[in-house]
Amino acid sequence: MAMSRKVLSVMLLCALALGMSCSGLASAGKPVTIRFISLAWQTQAIEAVKAVVAEWNAANPSIQVQYVQMDWGSIHDYMITSFEAKDVPDIFHYESIPIIDFGKRGYLTDLATLISDDLRTDVMPGAWETVTGSNGAIYGIPFLWESLIVLYNKDLFAEAGVKPPTIDNPWTWEEMRQAARLLTKDRHGDGQVDQFGVAFGLKSPVNRVFNLSMGFGGYYFYDQNGKPVIGVGDAEKELLRILLDMMYVEKTASLDGVGLSGPELFPGFFAGKYAMLPGIGVWARQQIVESAPAGFKWGVLPPLKAKTQAQGSTTQTLSIPSAAKHKKEAMQFLEFLANRENMAKLALGDWLFPTRASSLDLPAFRKEEGGWNIATESARHLTLAPWQKVMGFQEFKSKVATPLFQQLFANRISLDEFARRMETEGNRVLQRYQ
């Protein structure tokens, strides 16, 4: 019996030793590494994302996030290549229109059963709509969105006696045109206009024109027997007529905007060449803060009103590929990245809006400095755009819509020809996806 007890003791000690050894090996094992592709590009935004990643890594030694910086111009081709090669990141940042397409192709994880109740109920319903497929699958977490606002030069307004509109009494498009006439001047008396009422950045015009057209009831995409078709009728033409008239008839809109983006107009805006920049994204305010000359006084006007102030909007998203190796850990990090405080931090860094209602209610989004109070109020006019879930939209946008808009705004084709070709050539592209 004594010998048996000794043997048993030795066996127990060995088992304990082995358990400790195994435990030690487990704790000493390599952490799970999650590869996260971010498209943050403004200085503050990059700093905000890196800070959130660093905070996570410090608190979670067993799940480490590898931050990978990419740009908006290359992400689409990169992800298509990654999906086909099945060499994918665990998480990637993109926007709602292409991820719906990716989801339909089976490239993305359906997050519907993985999202916490807290996140699901706090993110605004309109934001969830942008990432939800027709089958109810949720292909990403919508965490940022933007509206289109009007930036204006306060000194030029005061000099011309133009009183800015308010949130409760916004300008109509016609009232903006009237103000633009007062703000368009030949300061040197040489017969040449050197101060324009407005400049529209139309270098990449599709998203801006489509989103603003919704206030006129112009949707461009319509349902015909369950299939999307492109239509350019009176509602779509109304905004286009306004832009063309301001550029080529009234001459209150600078032609500089035909070949320049919104931010590329900033030097002229700072120099007093343009009194207003209508229809520019709220994110552009950061660049003004960073690059405007000392003493430059600027402000934000509410979205212009057509029939309504409605605007189409896409959301920026965070998705997990279906071929990702660490989905559970990736979702844990996404919940942290998109919590109330962190989502607010990321939105403020990008000068955009968080999609969480509790984040948007924070005081930082309601202050007058930086035009946040007016910009934030504009978020209530955002709505799901019909082209968000149209298969083939990206090809239509690059091959048909962008070149036709550019020809129209350069006054090389008529509005009627534009409408005819948009419908004919655009529907030809969409038919290939049906």
132-147 per-position pLDDT tens digit: 998 999 999 999 999 9
The pLDDT of residue 11: 40
Q: What is the pLDDT of residue 389?
A: 84
pLDDT of residue 314: 87
pLDDT for the residue 380: 85
- Residue 7's pLDDT is 37
Q: Look up tokens 């339909």; give the residue.
A: 104
Q: What is the pLDDT of residues 272-324, one digit of tens each?
A: 999 999 999 999 999 999 899 999 999 999 999 999 999 998 899 999 999 99
Please determine, for residue 8, whether its predicted confidence score (pLDDT) is greater than 60.
no
pLDDT tens figures, 192-211: 999 999 999 999 999 999 99
Query: Taking the model in full, what pTM does it have?
Result: 0.85
Interval 173-195: pLDDT, tens: 999 999 999 999 998 888 899 99
Q: How confident is the model at residue 245 (pLDDT cuts 50, 70, 90)?
A: very high
* CATH of region 32-146+314-383: 3.40.190.10
Residue 52 pLDDT: 98
Q: Residue 83: its pLDDT value, please?
A: 97
- Asked whether this chain's domains 32-146+314-383 and 148-312+391-431 adopt the same fold, the reply is yes
* Residue 354 banded pLDDT, cuts 50, 70, 90: very high
pLDDT at 21 over 60: no
425: closest CA among 407, 410, 409? 407
Q: What is the per-residue pLDDT for 313? A: 84
Question: How is domain 148-312+391-431 classified at the CATH fold level?
Answer: D-Maltodextrin-Binding Protein; domain 2 (3.40.190)
- For the chain, the residue count is 434
Domain ranges of the chain: 32-146+314-383, 148-312+391-431
Instruction: Please compute the mean of the pLDDT values over residues 216-233 and round it to a whole number.
Output: 95
- Whole-angstrom distance, CA of residue 21 vs CA of residue 384: 56
Look at strands 148-153 and 298-301 and give their pairing: antiparallel
Q: What is the pLDDT of residues 375-433, one digit of tens each?
A: 998 888 998 888 988 988 989 999 999 999 999 999 999 999 999 999 999 999 999 98
Q: 353-354 and 141-145: which strand pairing? A: antiparallel
With 60 as the cut, is the pLDDT of residue 2 above it?
no
Section 221-247 average pLDDT: 96
The pLDDT assigned to 394 comes to 87
Residue 26 clears pLDDT 50, i.e. is over it:
no
In terms of pLDDT, which residue wins out, 218 or 24? 218
The pLDDT score that the predictor gives to residue 274 is 98
Q: What is the mean pLDDT of residues 242-246?
A: 98
pLDDT of 215 over the 50 cut: yes
pLDDT single digits (tens) 101-132: 899 999 999 999 999 999 999 999 989 999 99
Q: Please report where in the chains the tokens 């990321």 appear, as a residue.
A: 346
Q: What is the pLDDT of residue 228?
A: 94
Q: What pLDDT shows up at residue 328? A: 96
pLDDT higher than threshold 90 for residue 71: yes
Higher pLDDT, 243 or 14: 243
